[in-house]
C-alpha cells in the first residue's frame, strides 16, 4: 500500500455538504462526478496528498443510501492507493480478508477499485484503488 488515497464520507445533501467542507477547508472542491455503477454523485477536495470524497446516493439501492439509513451521515470508507490491485487482492485473500468484489471495477476519479468487507477489517470498509492507467503518473 502506497498511501491513504482518500476518505469517503457519506452525505445526505451533496450541495450543502460541499458548501460546509468548502468553509471548513477554505477551498473549493476540485472535482464533481457521478458514478452510475455505484448510484452516487461525488465531490472531491484535496488536503495535502490525501483527498476527501463526499458521496451522495442517487437512488435508494445505492450502498450510500443503505449506509445512511443504518448509520446516518459520516465516514463511509478509507481508501488506500496500491500499485497493483490484482496482486493486492490475491495477497489480502491469502491473508484471510473478505473481498467484496473479486474483479476491480471502475470508480470515481479514474480509479480501479475493490472493497474489503468490514467484518474482516475491524468494522471499517476498506477500498483499494489504482489509477486506471498507472503509466500516466
> pTM of the predicted model, to two decimals?
0.90
1 vs 120, which has greater pLDDT? 120
d(CA 126, CA 79) in angstroms, rounded, equals: 6
Mean pLDDT of the chain: 94
Q: Is 50 exceeded by the pLDDT of residue 136?
A: no
Burial class (CB in 10 A: 0-12, 13-18, 19+), 70: exposed
Instruction: Quote the distance between the C-alpha of residue 100 and its chain's center.
Output: 14
Amino acid at each position: 500500500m502506497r498511501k491513504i488515497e482518500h476518505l469517503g464520507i457519506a452525505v445526505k445533501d451533496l450541495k450543502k455538504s460541499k458548501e460546509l467542507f468548502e468553509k471548513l477547508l477554505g477551498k473549493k472542491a476540485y472535482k464533481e462526478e457521478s458514478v452510475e455503477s455505484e448510484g452516487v454523485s461525488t465531490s472531491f477536495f484535496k488536503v495535502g496528498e490525501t483527498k476527501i470524497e463526499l458521496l451522495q446516493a442517487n437512488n435508494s439501492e445505492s450502498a450510500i443510501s443503505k449506509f445512511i439509513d443504518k448509520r446516518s451521515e459520516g465516514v463511509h470508507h478509507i481508501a488506500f492507493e496500491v500499485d497493483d490491485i490484482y496482486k493486492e487482492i490475491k495477497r489480502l485473500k491469502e491473508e484471510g480478508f473478505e473481498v467484496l468484489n473479486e474483479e476491480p471495477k471502475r470508480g470515481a476519479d479514474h480509479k480501479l477499485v475493490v472493497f474489503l468487507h468490514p467484518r474482516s477489517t475491524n468494522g471499517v470498509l476498506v477500498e483499494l484503488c489504482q489509477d486506471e492507467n498507472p503509466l500516466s503518473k
